[in-house]
Amino acid sequence: MAHHHSHGHGPNHGPRDDSTGNLKVALFLNAGFAIFELIGGLWTGSLAILADALHDLGDSVSLGLAWYLQRLSGRSADTRFSYGYRRFSLLGALLNTAILVGGSIIIMSEAIPRMFEPGTPMAEGMLILAVVGISVNAAAALRLSRDNSLNARAVTLHLMQDILGWLGVFVVGIILLFRDLPFLDPLLSVVISLWVLYNALRGLRQAAGLFLQAVPEGIDLEGIESRLARIEGVLSVHSTHIWSMDGVRHVLSTHLVVPEDADTQDLFEIKCAAREAIDDPAIEHTTVEIEFVGEVCGLRETGGLRETDSLREPAE
């Protein structure tokens, strides 16, 4: 017996995608300041500033990558990528977060030995650079804060690290004006790097989960199945899957089993009710397959079911 499919291609209910422009602004701000910061770090002799300068140069590379992948993610679907290119944005988030983890480890490996043999940085220069650093990174972070994509959030974490780092440099600079405590400079680098490493590993876990098609955060898969099972004329529900294209826009598919004597009008009403049960602004594309009771499902034969699917009882 033939299968019946219902595909949802509703309008994008999510926020307007300004990611490309936001990332471009952040890229040029970050790259320009990284060069300025590198010169300033050499001038002041501050390891914290030099470490942040190298980190910012790495940020510029990852921002450029994020910008390119975000532009690519805006392409329409074609025969090669039938869902479009939005997953490239997720790839950018994964790569950027991995760069954050690596950069934090490198900075700590340089800073920890310097805690025992610290140099004496120029406190006045540190204060000047800190004020400029806070202003530039805050401007870029503010621009990206309006963007909800996982890619932009990963880049924002880079910028928040820099803001915290510069606040730390400012405080250390003030202390060094009055006390000779040069070990505070490398100690600051270690503290900042540990904070960033913790948050980056959390972001890496989220990005990797979405990349591996885990159910997106905030989506109640069992709740959706329960609403579908309560639709009049639906005997059971199975093979409900949901994954995310970019951390913001999701795709869902499900199989509904209906009575063998269901007619065209019954099927139409069931599909309309299914769309209402699934309705979520984040779910951009839905596929509902209708099966008649007793019909063999290919997923059941190949074992493509979760345990809850195979145990589900028909709805009353």
**Contact between residue 90 and residue 152 where contact means Cβ atoms under 8 Å apart:** no
pLDDT of residue 269: 92
Per-residue pLDDT band for 16 (boundaries 50, 70, 90) equals: very low
What is the spatial distance between Cα 274 and Cα 308, in angstroms, rounded to a whole number?
19
User: Which residue type, as a one-letter code, is found at position 249?
Assistant: R
CATH value of 215-311 in 1.10.10.10, 3.40.50.300, 3.30.70.1350, 3.90.120.10: 3.30.70.1350
pLDDT of residue 314: 47
CATH assignment of 19-211? 1.20.1510.10
Strand, helix or coil for residue 2: coil
What is the spatial distance between Cα 229 and Cα 238, in angstroms, rounded to a whole number?
9
Of residues 225 and 308, more confidently modeled: 225
Considering the chain, what is the average pLDDT of its residues?
Answer: 76
When mean pLDDT is compared over 128-132, 183-187, 255-259, the highest value belongs to 255-259
Domain definitions of the chain by residue range: 19-211, 215-311
Instruction: Give residue-wise pLDDT tens across range 179-208.
Output: 888 787 778 778 877 887 887 788 788 888
Ordered alpha helix ranges (H), the chain:
19-44, 47-73, 87-116, 123-144, 150-178, 184-211, 221-229, 264-278, 298-302, 307-311
DSSP tag of 246: S
256 phi/psi in degrees, rounded to 5? -115, 130
Instruction: Give residue-wise pLDDT tens across range 134-164.
Output: 888 788 778 777 666 666 676 777 677 778 7
